Chains A and B, each alone.
Chain A
Amino acid sequence: MKHSVKLRKPLLKQLKADNLKGRIIQSQPIWVRIFHWGFAISLVVIISTGLQLHKPAHFLALNFSKVLVAHIVFSWFALGFLVLRFTDALIRKDDSLIPKIRDLKHFPKLMAYYFFLRSSPPPARKYNSGQLLIYFSWFLVFLLASFLGLASYWQGEHLIWVWHLVGGFQMIRWIKFIISIYFLATIPVHIYLSLTEDISRLQAMVTGYERKPPMKNESKNFPRIK
């Protein structure tokens, strides 16, 4: 049976806060979240249409010109989301996605953790070194693939030096295929780790807020909401 006891709001808040574990902080600003989900959806479309362009599944009998249009349109979307994220990072002076030496120094320990040789991951800035490397490589190879895509889209009218550099059309496509494989191999790792390591970070990617352990020498009675 439900007892309805009317408590005054401030008191209720106080009670809840008292019982809350850790602090709740904002970790993912709105533009980061928009970028993340926009980019993720675009990438899924880009890669699946790319694979269809690579080897048409004949049970699908999709209209091929439309597949190509979807591929290119979503590439532009993805690029747009990337620009959003980049601008946001510039405005907030956010360097959380740029790997630094001190991040890399933690990498061996992180690997030790993933291989069950340590019980806890090493300290990290916003993202741990493994994630950082994956994210950063994604931006690089995404830009590379888009650039090569543009070169193949222009069919050798522009960006001719790219053709010379990589050795022709066939190589352009081949590199893009390998990049797609790289995405396909690393995205599941990313999803797996974000589901099993710290689920509150996944929550943060939706709501923006994340739960952190309480700060030392700070009363846990006063959760910080930044």
Chain B
Amino acid sequence: MLSRRDFLKLVVKGAVLGNFSQLITPPLAKAVAAGEVHKLPVVMIETGTCTGDSISLDNIWTPTFSDILTNILDWRYDWIMNQVQGQEAYGILQETYEKMPHEYILIVQGSMIQRDNGHYNHVGYENGKLITGIELVRRIGLKAKYVVAIGSCATYGGPVSGYPNPTQSTGVQNILPERRVINVSGCPAHPDWIVGTLLHLALYGEPELEKFGRPKLFYGETVHNRCPRRRFYDQGIFATAIGQKECLFRIGCKGPVTYSDCPIRRWNDRYNWPIGCNTPCIGCTEPGYPDLMSPFTSHFPDIPFPGGTKVNTDSFGLGVLGLTSVAITGHVVTSLYKGRIQKNLLKTSAKTNHRPALKKAQAFHKYWLKKTNKI
């Protein structure tokens, strides 16, 4: 069977050539034929989501991907791809849960809606009762072999949890602290990231995860460190408007703070990626996206103040500095007016008790020391 090392090589090669699933299929087919692969059952629960990650996953929908689905993974429950609907479909989920505990992979797409016990997000109907997203994810998640969160919403809350977060949404890890959640973030997650992670789970178990629970093989390096425009950055040559060919840092590129392999993997069958078409990276794979990353064309997030107003960080800084200058100027003027500065300077700089000063005497060319008051 394909060794883990070769697999990792294919991940990079597939990224560079843009044919990851084509590369991976022949060795997998062999492994399947030899009976080396244990098919992993997969169920997907969609909670507070736009289903964008399913659409993104469809992008890998080459004939070869169907091989992956039929040979490597047993794709059992998924609203988008189910052939049946209603109770029949839901029954498959229940059956997987009851008959294959600690065998199946749970994929979660969408954020965990917590407000009012999750009742703004119903994902099932059991015995005349509506089942909430958090309830189902917790129940199915506790018995899953692996829990995989895909997309920004499921991983860290994403746009659904954006300020002021009226639904109190959050990522899967927060409502499932007992389990280690594998985070495949991105808005949406790249199809290679999703399938690659699933394949790694099927073939070699849990991949190495980085600081925010994402597989290191896709999220190990910042966009900035592999960006083709890095030489512009290093030399300090910056674009001043979207559409220019230089480094996009000045207009808010989040590449320096974003971990993903977009620069080599790119998007839409490796056709292009944001920086390739002269718009900044918006940092969609990071926790805190989109609040910490927007405005997308500015370096730092706006500062929310109570009452719903937001202030741009740079303007805030300038405002503080402006206030300081006004305060100091005002103080200088008042101090001068009140004579405080003059007094302090005289008091602390005069060298002697009696400052010698000359006083003109009556007689021509005759001077003597003038008596001054002690200061």
Encode B322-345 as 1/0 by CB contact (under 8 A) with A. Answer: 011101100110110010110011
Give the docked Cα–Cα distance between A56 and B246 (Å).
13
Give the interface residue-count category, chain A: 35 or more
| Known interface pairs A20-B352, A58-B250, A61-B237; A196-B292 also in contact (CB < 8 Å) | no
- What is the bound-complex CA distance between A21 and B301, given in angstroms? 56
Question: Chain B 213-247, CB within 8 Å of chain A: the 1/0 string?
Answer: 00000000010000000000111111010000000
Q: A63-B235, A170-B301, A185-B324 are contacts. A192–B331 as well, Cβ < 8 Å?
A: yes
In the complex, how many residues of chain B place their beta carbon closer than 8 angstroms to a beta carbon of chain A? 54
Of B235, B292, B332, the contact of A167 (CB 8 Å cutoff):
B292
Cβ contact within 8 Å between A164 and B349: no
Q: Is the CB of A170 within 8 A of B351?
A: no
Interchain CA distance A176-B222 in the complex, whole Å: 20
Check A64–B353 contact: CB distance below 8 A. no
Please report the number of residue pairs spanning A and B whose Cβ atoms sit closer than 8 angstroms.
124
Q: How far apart are B301's CB and chain A's nearest CB, in angstroms?
A: 7
Assess whether B210 is interfacial by the CB under 8 Å rule: yes
Query: Which of A63, A181, A200 is the one whose CB lies under 8 Å from B320?
Result: A181
- Give the interface segment out of A74-82, A98-106, A137-145, A155-163: A155-163
Let me know if A58 and B238 touch, CB within 8 A: yes
Provide the bound-state CA to CA distance between A130 and B160, in Å. Answer: 45
- Check B208 for interface membership: any CB of A closer than 8 A: no
A60 in the interface, Cβ–Cβ < 8 Å?
yes
State whether B240 touches A170 (Cβ < 8 A).
no
Interface SS of B by simple majority: helix
Determine the chain B residues whose CB is within 8 A of the CB of A167 once the complex forms.
Answer: 287-288, 292
Q: Could you mark each residue 234-268 of chain B with 1 if its beta carbon is under 8 Å from any beta carbon of chain A, else 0? A: 11111010000000011000101111000000000
Give B225's nearest chain A residue, CB to CB. Answer: A155
Cβ contact of B352, chosen from A21, A58, A62, A178, cutoff 8 A: A21
Q: Are A177 and B349 in contact (CB under 8 A)?
A: no
Contact of A177 among B222, B288, B317 (CB under 8 A): B317
> Which residues in B have their C-beta under 8 angstroms from that of A168?
212, 257, 286-288, 292
* B316 / chain A contacts, CB cutoff of 8 Å: 181
- B299 interface residue per 8 A CB criterion: yes
A64 near B235 with CB under 8 A, answer yes
* Contact B353–A19 (Cβ < 8 Å): yes
Kindly state whether residue B313 has any CB partner on chain A within 8 Å: yes
Contacts of A164 in B (CB 8 A): 211-212
Query: A64 to B229, alpha carbons, bound, how many Å?
Result: 13
Shortest C-beta distance, B212 to chain A (Å), equals 8
Question: Which B residues form the contact surface with A (CB < 8 A)?
Answer: 210-212, 222, 233-238, 240, 249-250, 254, 256-259, 283, 286-288, 292-293, 299-301, 313-314, 316-317, 320-321, 323-325, 327-328, 331-332, 334-335, 338, 340-341, 344-345, 348-354
* Interface residues, chain A, with chain B CB atoms under 8 Å away: 19-21, 54-56, 58, 60-65, 67, 114, 116, 155-156, 160, 163-164, 167-171, 173-174, 177-178, 180-181, 184-186, 188-189, 192, 196-201, 211, 220
